[in-house]
Amino acid sequence: CGLMYAAKKYMVPYLVALCIKYIESNMSIRNVLTIFNFADLIQEEALMTMCINLICKHPSIILNNESEHISGLCLREILTQDYINISEIDLIKYAIHWAHNECIEQDMIPSKENVREVLLKFGCFYKLRFATLSLADLDCLRVLGILTNSELLHLNYIHTMRFKDERIPIMD
């Protein structure tokens, strides 16, 4: 990674390409978050895309790696993906867990308010797809406490309206 940083700094594109090729061939589930954080740090889009693709294929394994903490910008990038092999509620729970750890890392009390504030600070809160959740999942979020009462009411309204116009078949 140090060689790639120097190659980018001193604008040696051939060496950057070789480094990307080497990193890509050695990327695995165990090191993808480290590579993702590094790619974000040096703003290497091609490498970030490779990392995102691997993360989207194996999110449950990768995101539950307690030894690796990703940056808020990396989390936001993951949350913007349309195709990720994880349920929305599990992704939201991961984001909340990440924000809880981020509070601790920033010497903040990991209260519900601070967890929400961290998610907002990094632009992650509004990337969470709350409107796709079932009523049972919304109840789970109510317990976690990161949504306000008015947000929960709005989401319940959206959920109710989603099914309002469906016709009930008449049984013979």
pLDDT values of the chain reduced to their tens digit, one per residue, 172 residues: 788 889 888 988 999 999 999 999 999 999 999 999 999 989 899 999 999 999 999 998 888 876 678 889 889 999 999 999 999 999 999 999 999 999 999 999 999 999 999 999 999 999 999 988 888 888 888 888 889 889 888 888 887 776 555 544 444 4
pTM: 0.83
Rounded Cα–Cα distance for residues 101 and 51 (Å): 22
Structure letter (DSSP) for residue 9: H
pLDDT at 166: 52
Rounded Cα–Cα distance for residues 23 and 103 (Å): 31
Rounded Cα–Cα distance for residues 24 and 44 (Å): 13
pLDDT at 62: 85
